[in-house]
Amino acid sequence: MEILQRIQLLSEIAAGALNLVFPTRCPGCERIDTVGFCQDCRRMLEWIERKSACQRCGASGMSSQRIRGNACPACHNRNYKTTQAAAVLKYSGPLVPAIIRWKYRNQEKLTAVFAELMVDWITMQAPDWWEKIDYIVPAPHHPSTVRNRGFNPPEEIAGIIASRFAIPFLPRILFKIRMTAPQVRLKGDERFANLHESMHVFDKSMLEGKRVLIIDDVMTTGATMNECARAILCGGAEKVYGLVLARQSDSH
Ligand SMILES: [Zn+2]
Ligand SMILES: [Zn+2]
């Protein structure tokens, strides 16, 4: 084979491999020939600053007077189990169609794009977490939901983050033990009641005295994160932190 043909072949293989990992359309606006979000969409992503967000539900954009005891008004009367929960981006702008494509149209390749956004946020805003965390655990879905969808978004994203920061990953420790009504139809406190005792840790010996980071895709009231944390603490863990890709406002 001629050397130029070899180079051509190798570059096609490399492009094919890249295409397996990263999509070549922008997940926000579907512009072609971009890796991840295009520049225009990237500029519209709304990053959440950890310092000015509620430490319980990840809500952003509040003045320091409204955040009392590190919690926003909606969280003052809720007994959250997480030591701290944070969100990387607001569920807004080009992130919305991108997440819909990822979760509901099974564009699994977008996992790598979202994982990199979360890695960037952690590196900039929460570098202190990595000395504190013993394990990363994904928020679980019921097995039938995973079967229907064909993949498990929080598990995929958490696996990439764990490997990037070399933190042990436990994808099979926390289980959803009963189906629950879709959270989207419920309001505030109903979401917490709907999920109560819906999750369970099967191997408690792993968690004794450990500090665990739970990773999920989208957070609204923090009810799912809270139920994950309750089960992990029942399993003997010392502290639970939470991180989600996107924070959706309660009014949605
Ligand atoms: Zn775009
Ligand atoms: Zn809050």
pLDDT digits (tens, 9 = 90+) for 3-40: 556 655 555 555 555 555 555 789 999 988 778 899 99
The answer to whether residue 252 sits within a structural domain is no
User: Per the structure, how many domains does the chain have?
Assistant: 2
163 and 126 assigned to the same domain? yes
pLDDT, one tens digit per residue, over 78-96 is: 888 999 999 999 999 999 9
Distance 86 CA to ligand 2 centre (A): 10
19 and 65 assigned to the same domain? no
27 and 111 assigned to the same domain? no
Looking at the DSSP bridge assignments, the partners of residue 215 are 138, 243
Distance 239 CA to ligand 2 centre (A): 19
Distance 72 CA to ligand 2 centre (A): 4
Q: Which ligand is nearest the CA of 30, by number?
A: 1
Q: Which ligand is nearest the CA of 77, by number?
A: 2
* Mean pLDDT, all residues of the chain: 85
Cα separations (Å) of 89 from 108, 176, 184, 219?
A: 20, 26, 19, 10
51 and 30 assigned to the same domain? no
The answer to whether residue 220 sits within a structural domain is yes
Would the pTM of this model clear 0.95, i.e. be above it?
no
Distance 22 CA to ligand 1 centre (A): 14
Nearby residues for ligand 2 (ion, Cβ within 5 Å): 54, 56-57, 59, 72, 75
pLDDT, one tens digit per residue, over 143-154 is: 777 777 778 899
Distance 140 CA to ligand 2 centre (A): 22
121 and 172 assigned to the same domain? yes
Distance 37 CA to ligand 1 centre (A): 5
134 and 179 assigned to the same domain? yes
61 and 24 assigned to the same domain? no
Enclosing domain of residue 8: 1-44
Q: Which ligand is nearest the CA of 222, by number?
A: 2
Say what the pLDDT of residue 96 is: 96
